[in-house]
Structure 1
Amino acid sequence: MRVITQQALGGPEVLTVVDAPEPRALPTEVLVRVKAIGLNPIEALLRSGEFPPLLGRPPFVLGWDISGVVEEGALTYRFRPGDEVFGMPLFPRAAGAYAEVVAAPALHLVRKPASLSHVEASALPVVGLTAWQGLVDLGGVGEGDRVLIHAGGGGVGHVAVQIAKAFGAYVIATASKNKREFVEGFGADEVIDYTAVDFAEAVRDIDVVLDTIGGDTVERSLGVLRPGGHLVTAVSEGDAELIARYEAAGMRFSGIAVDPDPVGLRGLVDLVERGELRVHVQETFPFERVADAHRLLDAGHLQGKVVLTV
């Protein structure tokens, strides 16, 4: 089979397609013939060495988001050969998803709904579970809550807007002016152009803030929460000083490090099948053009997701 590996840290050019032996499924695992691979900004940071080395030093194979077809299983009742599945196996441990065949714990996958293509399904797990775990599991978002979602036009953000709306929230999102219509199209009740308006001055009485930006954005979000409000962040979870500030103000502060979650995946599938959730793929690239796909990741300001097709 073919895999995409790298021998050194660096720019997109370090990513190389090579031949490798197919993996073997351990007990309770399945082999998945991959049809599409969702790319995430964290993979560009790992490739370049700008993020703590979750995968150790090169050589390694990046990737977690996959959609494909089960080829075989080992001592698992969950799937049979021919089943179409998707998921985010093993995150944050190495899953080797930039490959034509992936061995994955069956528990980390769910059946792909017919209404999702493999491209769309591969784009959903990391961003969808981040949003689900942040808003539903941690945030407890429900009917009538006021929710602020930072970077509403990004991968996590555009999915989070839809999840919050599905649970009955009033949703405010921050986004640049050129993404306003994009974010409104996913159901946001208000969109704040962060390049022209200070959200900290424009928003009040928020029940839950979902942050994927960090830094000053997290600090200034304190002032928009109602008493007892909840900040959930995917990027500043270890900042002890921030946590202390929020707690001293009577607010809740939670960090989220997304993990494989079949319950959350099935929740996402349910929303998809009810027509309340869709994932936007900005661009697809063939497997061999992974370097071009990573250049798009490096450029930032994506609308939705980038996907490799296999």
Structure 2
Amino acid sequence: MLRVERRETAADGVVLLELVDPDGRALPAWDPGAHIDLVLGPYVRQYSLCGDPADRARWRIAILRDADGRGGSAFAHDRLAAGDVVAVSGPRNHFRLDPSPRYLFVAGGIGITPIVPMVAAATAAGADWELHYGGRSRASMAFSHRLAADYGDRVRVHPQDETGLLDLDRILGGSRSGTLVYCCGPEPLLQAVEQRCLAGELRVERFSAQPRDEGTAFEVVLRRSGLTLTVPPGRSILDVVEAAGVPVLSSCREGTCGTCETAVLDGTVDHRDTLLTADEQAANDTMFVCVSRAASSPLILDL
């Protein structure tokens, strides 16, 4: 449990929360790209840490009010106040900043949050980098003034109402040998960046799972539990396993947080998460049972 030490407006529609241990203890260490799970009433949501990893006294997160969301962001904006105590788990990191001499950061809207500590880390490492940050308007773009003040022309701010959409052909055009591209933002931006990048050079973080078909039925064998279950179209492995009375830790149920990661003992996985790299998927030794399915049946899991 952590206490909301401070709450402030970071931009139009964005609230910044500072979380501390109620007893003054140091918080767990984290690296740029990490996120935490925050319990907001009946909701559990994932938010990227956007403060200083060296500051073990507090965690900072920024939450965008999502008019089309399921209630978590509205709860944070309307009901969470300074002094409130909230349940938190993590941090976890599936968006790590890998070592590189050069980085290109592309952020859209609230996708700037994991990028903020990344550019600080890249600067401290002496790497060459630039950031292109798009948003609806300057007023809606959290941290834009601070980033521009701290890093000058390394930061390019692209308010849509002034300059239009990010010109990705220009930003991602030309040679990028030795450059890692990090991108976080809404799904259309991620898909557009993916279309313009080579395999291995791009790292992305998604807020929600990519849309997929409902799949076909398959069998899953739970080795430790001694159960064989049928997973029908439209239901997840997680749903079926829980209905059979086998507990599995889970949170987002969208393949974005990593909580339900499960070891695969045999079979081929139809990976539908947004966390594993292509190489990790090809290794076929782990999966996220909230969204991923079987490409061969049966699928044998360490559950």
Same fold (TM > 0.5): no
Q: Report which of the two structures shows the higher radius of gyration computed on alpha carbons.
A: 2
Report the TM-score, using the length of structure 1 for normalisation.
Answer: 0.37
Report the TM-score, using the length of structure 2 for normalisation.
Answer: 0.38
Greater share of strand residues, 1 or 2?
A: 2
